[in-house]
């Protein structure tokens, strides 16, 4: 997405949205890709926090940054934040499946850091996954089945 990240502030991309605030038409995929980039950026979005615990101030900062790249109706804000939250959850799940092993020592878990993650953020994420309360919640959510997506977004 260098095309978007390196654009001048005066060259914002117009986006059209439907009644739900979802991007449609030509630039929809660009918006979606940028939201994915933000969700994986520890600068804007702390991966080691459940989305529900990310402060309103941090979420507003993400929207403010998006407005430097896109011209979009304000009713798109809710959808964009929801999309970023889903992308954060999905990315965290992929990282956990690929890099985290509960049978390893904490030190080895921290060493298995993916290259795209900052060391301190990875350590916080591994600490989060090793929290007994989070492990219990994770087990409960796995047992629930299809309804787990709702609980997952609420707690993890």
- Mean local confidence (pLDDT), 121-145: 87
CA distances from 24 to 4, 14, 94, 101, 113 (A): 17, 11, 27, 40, 36
Strand, helix or coil for residue 49: coil
Question: What one-character-per-residue DSSP string does 109-131 give?
Answer: HHHT--TTS-HHHHHHHHHHHH-
CA distances from 82 to 53, 90, 120 (A): 13, 12, 26
Return the domain boundaries, the chain.
Answer: 2-155
pLDDT for 46? 84
Structure confidence by residue, pLDDT tens digits, 19-65? 999 999 988 999 999 999 899 887 888 888 888 889 999 999 999 98
Residue that is written with structure tokens 């914002």 in the block: 12
Structure confidence by residue, pLDDT tens digits, 76-106? 999 999 999 999 989 998 999 999 999 999 9
Strand, helix or coil for residue 13: strand
The pair of structure tokens assigned to 39 is 């969700």
């Amino acid at each position: 997405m260098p095309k978007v990240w390196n654009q001048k502030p005066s060259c914002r991309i117009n986006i059209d949205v439907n009644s739900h605030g979802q991007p449609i038409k030509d630039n929809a995929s660009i918006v979606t890709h940028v939201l994915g980039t933000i969700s994986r950026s520890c600068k804007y979005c702390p991966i080691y926090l459940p989305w529900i615990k990310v402060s309103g101030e941090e979420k507003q900062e993400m929207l403010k940054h998006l407005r430097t790249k896109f011209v979009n109706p304000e009713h798109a804000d809710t959808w964009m934040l929801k999309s970023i939250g889903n992308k954060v959850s999905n990315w965290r799940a992929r990282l956990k499946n690929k890099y985290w092993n509960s049978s390893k020592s904490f030190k080895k878990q921290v060493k298995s850091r993916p290259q795209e993650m900052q060391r301190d953020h990875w350590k916080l994420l591994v600490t989060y996954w090793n929290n007994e309360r989070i492990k219990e919640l994770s087990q409960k959510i796995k047992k629930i089945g299809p309804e787990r997506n709702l609980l997952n977004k609420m707690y993890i």
